[in-house]
Amino acid sequence: MNFMDEYLKKQVTADEAVKVVKSGDWIDYGPINAQVVALDQALARRKDELRDVKVWSLLTLKPPKIVEVDPEGESFIWNSWHLSGLDRKIAGTGRAVYYSSIRYSELPRYVREHIEPLDVAMLQVGPMDKHGYFNFGPQNSHCKAICDRARTVIVEVNERMPRCLGGFEEAIHISQVDYIVVGDNQPLVQLPSIPSSEVDKAAARLIIEEMSDGCCVQLGIGGMPNAVGKMIAVSDLKNLGCHTEMLVDAYVDMYYAGRLTNTEKNIDPGRMVYSFALGSQAVYDFIDDNPGCAIYPVNYTNKPSIAALNDKLITINNAVEVDLYGQVCSESAGTRIISGTGGQLDFVVAGYESRGGKSIICLPSSKVDKDGKARSRIVPTLANGAIVTDPRSVAQYIITEYGKFEMKGKTVWQRAEGLINLAHPDFRDDLVKCAENQGIWRRYHKMAVS
């Protein structure tokens, strides 16, 4: 069947398409690199006609024109499921960015069942194929859920969008689309490679000691996970697998180095499984039309009971700070949201549930604040208002450049001792005093801290 007649009937300009948006509507702008561009510019031109239009986003990568033209947020209210660096920059100008907390594996269900009904969905997609499908590109995530919930679906076609094979729910059929807008084919936003510091490398070496041939690897974002990936690529590890939320350059490096074969995975053998990809052009070129990769909605990739079906699943994620009780904060500085829960809790659970698997949280032992003062990331208690991303009952391994500590089955005094040993030496005596004051220190163990 030739779908071009239907395509031409539904094709409109961006200005025509955004006429469906009304004051008070809830709309979705598309997550990650599905974020619309031409439609955003067209909607911004309607700023003076509209009030109280609520917009959903996830990992904003391009400066939204509707935010630029509406600094007070009277016409457009910006809401995010997970803040990006750009979202933080927007918030730093005083413009409100409203965060909604999630377990990422549950997001498609939130969209289908719990959020306010979506009036309009706008997403960038790849060009229509001969079967009438528009591919969502390197961000399956919850795109199909967005389209299923929306009263009106508008797609903005970008010829540069990689065609990412499923999996499932990686595309939408033209019969489910109301309007088609041809965009100006801007390149996808690339995530710059995060340089690995000596601290990152030291921690990465400790993490790799916990790995073995045949492991299935999940890497979170950040310097330490990136360092782990680079080290794996030059290691002697064999027959590794990939089951992850976010596919980054490190996986491509591991694949071409012959470390990542996916042959020993229990589910999706032979395929690199992911929910979205974000990295350099090399990543986008690698996943384009590649049958060795499978992109799934996040309620598949991140669901612990599914991810844990892979034996020896090693999950590696970053943290902002860890307290002496083993509570992990990975998303805020006090009450200031930095990112979001995302899929970290999902994979912390999945790593431990996997047969032979391990869940690892890694972080530098200290940081230098904006005033140039060094501060410990191993803290007596989390900062006032800090978000607990991983409860103390869930986190397994904590690793800094000074060592590793497994928390499962440990008492509060064992945790205090083990975690203080991961702190920078300059802060250990103060942490011992705090632990004493908190009643979680056994005095004769003080000499164990070095």
**Residues designated catalytic:** 245
DSSP state of 310: S
Query: What is residue 127's three-state secondary structure?
Result: coil
CB count in 10 Å sphere of residue 130? 9
Gap between the Cα atoms of 233 and 219, Å rounded: 14
| 51-82 as b/e: b if 16+ CB within 10 A | eebbbbbbbbbbebbbbebbeebebbbbbbbb
User: For tokens 């710059």, what's the residue?
Assistant: 192
Tokens of 14: 């961006």
The sign of the torsion formed by the CA atoms of 291, 293, 299, 301 equals positive
Tokens of 131: 């079967």
Gyration radius from the chain CA atoms: 23
Q: Measuring CA to CA, how many Å separate 80 from each of 57, 189, 393?
A: 5, 18, 28
Gap between the Cα atoms of 386 and 321, Å rounded: 9
